[in-house]
Structure 1
Amino acid sequence: MPFVSLKVAGPEIGTGIVAELQREITALMGEVLGKRADLTAVLVEPAPTGGWSVGGEAVVRAAHIEARVTQGTNTAAEKARFVAAAHDLLVRTLPGPLPLATYVVVQEVPADAWGYGGLTQAERARDAAARR
């Protein structure tokens, strides 16, 4: 049940690029981190031109991905592959150069601290274990 937030600064990228980023990020979450596509939520949020700086200097285009996953469900190697693949996706998809400080974060959230459909991930794991 991952949630991915992508912030993009600079000129508007349009609905076609937004949809492509949503599809590709969802695919990466499944292929690299083993997450279910039908439970992967992706939010693309614009930031105003001039509203983002790196090293104290405003940049024309910038992006930041933060993917939340359940703690302990991915290896360090999987997370490293996701960071590399997500960065590559941003570079390939967004117009204009991105600053070196284009961050991709995999944030691990404890299973008892988040969920969906009214149940935490810990409750879902307990229910699944009880059915076995």
Structure 2
Amino acid sequence: MPYLKLAYASPAAVATADLAATLTGLTVDLLGKKRELTVVAIEPLPVSGWFVGGAALEAGESGAVLEIRITEGTNTKAQKAAFIRAAFDALATALPRLNPASYVTLHEPPADAWGYSGKTQEYRFIRSQIL
């Protein structure tokens, strides 16, 4: 049940539906998450409001921050590293001249601290166990 939030600034038009589909695919393929529970929110920001090191982006440059939430302990370090590499590459493909100070961050809340449809991931895990 991952949630991805992408904030970006780009001087060019971005095919956000295609980018959302790409990020969803990477989440499914590299992190083993369920496609039907993967949510992607994309927020375009003005280039004039994006700064790196206190300086505005150079002409024609883009910037991005992608945050993803996945349940703590459900993925290995290798899986997370592969996702970060692939997600950055996807952003670099979609956004012209992506500034290297563009980030992909995985947040891992504990299973008892988040959920969907009003039930925590911890509840779902316990409920799935044969006791």
Instruction: Supply the distance in 2 between the matched residues of 1:18 and 1:66 (Cα, whole angstroms).
Output: 16
- Secondary structure class of the residue paired with 2:100: coil
Q: How do 1:101-112 and structure 2 match up within 5 A? A: 101-112=101-112
Deviations 1:34-75 (A, max 9, x none): 000000000000112211111111114211110100000000
- Counterpart check, 1:4 vs 2:10: no
Give ranges in structure 2 of 5+ residues lacking alignment: none
Tell me the number of residue pairs that the alignment of Structure 1 and Structure 2 aligns.
128
Q: Kindly indicate whether the alpha-carbon contact (under 8 Å) linking 1:52 and 1:62 is maintained by their aligned counterparts in 2.
A: yes
Instruction: Supply the distance in 2 between the matched residues of 1:99 and 1:70 (Cα, whole angstroms).
Output: 29
| TM-score of the superposed pair, with normalisation by structure 1 | 0.92
Give ranges in structure 1 of 5+ residues lacking alignment: none
- Secondary structure class of the residue paired with 1:97: coil
- Counterpart check, 1:45 vs 2:43: yes
Q: Kindly indicate whether the alpha-carbon contact (under 8 Å) linking 1:10 and 1:50 is maintained by their aligned counterparts in 2.
A: no
Instruction: Supply the distance in 2 between the matched residues of 1:125 and 1:78 (Cα, whole angstroms).
Output: 21
Q: Kindly indicate whether the alpha-carbon contact (under 8 Å) linking 1:50 and 1:58 is maintained by their aligned counterparts in 2.
A: yes
Counterpart of 1:62 in structure 2: which amino acid? G
Q: How do 1:51-70 and structure 2 match up within 5 A? A: 51-59=49-57, 60-70=61-71
| TM-score of the superposed pair, with normalisation by structure 2 | 0.93
- Secondary structure class of the residue paired with 1:26: helix
Regions of 4+ moved over 6 Å = none
Instruction: Supply the distance in 2 between the matched residues of 1:34 and 1:24 (Cα, whole angstroms).
Output: 14
Counterpart of 1:64 in structure 2: which amino acid? V
Q: Which residue does 1:129 correspond to in 2?
A: 129
